[in-house]
């Protein structure tokens, strides 16, 4: 199984500042035949299901604010929120969908400083 490890476990950032969450996979999730990284990011607020933010590591889902961006390739990935807003307080998860079982990171709790 591919193990997904996020860092940090929790993060406190001031409003308007940058937030960065890292995700590392135990093996590459880059599929060389199409040069796509099978990596997604989700946001989960209390009492709600997860919401897809990014897929193919760096493609923003329609409707997701531009302050969210994803980067990385192979085994190392980053989710960046360029200017933190109050509504961004949530737990963020990375997930690989390269091979089953489709595994998630343990989550990163993002709070306002």
CB of 99 to another protein, least distance (A): 8
Q: Does residue 98 interact with another protein by CB under 8 A?
A: yes
**Is residue 88 classed as helix, strand or coil in its secondary structure?**
helix
CB of 17 to another protein, least distance (A): 26
Helices (H) and strands (E) in the chain, counts: 0, 12
Which residue intervals of the chain are DSSP H helices? none
Continuous segment of H or E residues that includes residue 35: none
Hey, CA dihedral for 105, 88, 43, 63, is it positive or negative?
Answer: negative
Closer residue to another protein in complex, CB, 16/62: 62
- Which residues, 7 to 66, sit near another protein by CB under 8 A? 38, 40, 42, 44, 49-52, 55-56, 61
- Structure tokens, 30: 């880059």
Catalog residues that contact another protein under the rule CB under 8 A: 38, 40, 42, 44, 49-52, 55-56, 61, 93, 95, 97-98, 100-107
């Amino acid at each position: 199984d591919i193990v997904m490890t996020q860092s940090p476990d929790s993060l406190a950032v001031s409003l308007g500042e940058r937030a960065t969450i890292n995700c590392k996979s135990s093996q590459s999730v880059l599929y060389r035949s199409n040069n796509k990284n099978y990596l997604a990011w989700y946001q989960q607020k209390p009492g709600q299901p997860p919401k897809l933010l990014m897929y193919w590591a760096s493609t923003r889902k329609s409707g997701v604010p531009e302050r969210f961006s994803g980067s990385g390739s192979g085994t190392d990935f980053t989710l960046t929120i360029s200017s933190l807003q109050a509504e961004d307080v949530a737990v963020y998860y990375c997930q690989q969908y390269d091979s089953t079982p489709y595994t998630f990171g343990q989550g990163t709790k993002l709070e306002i400083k």
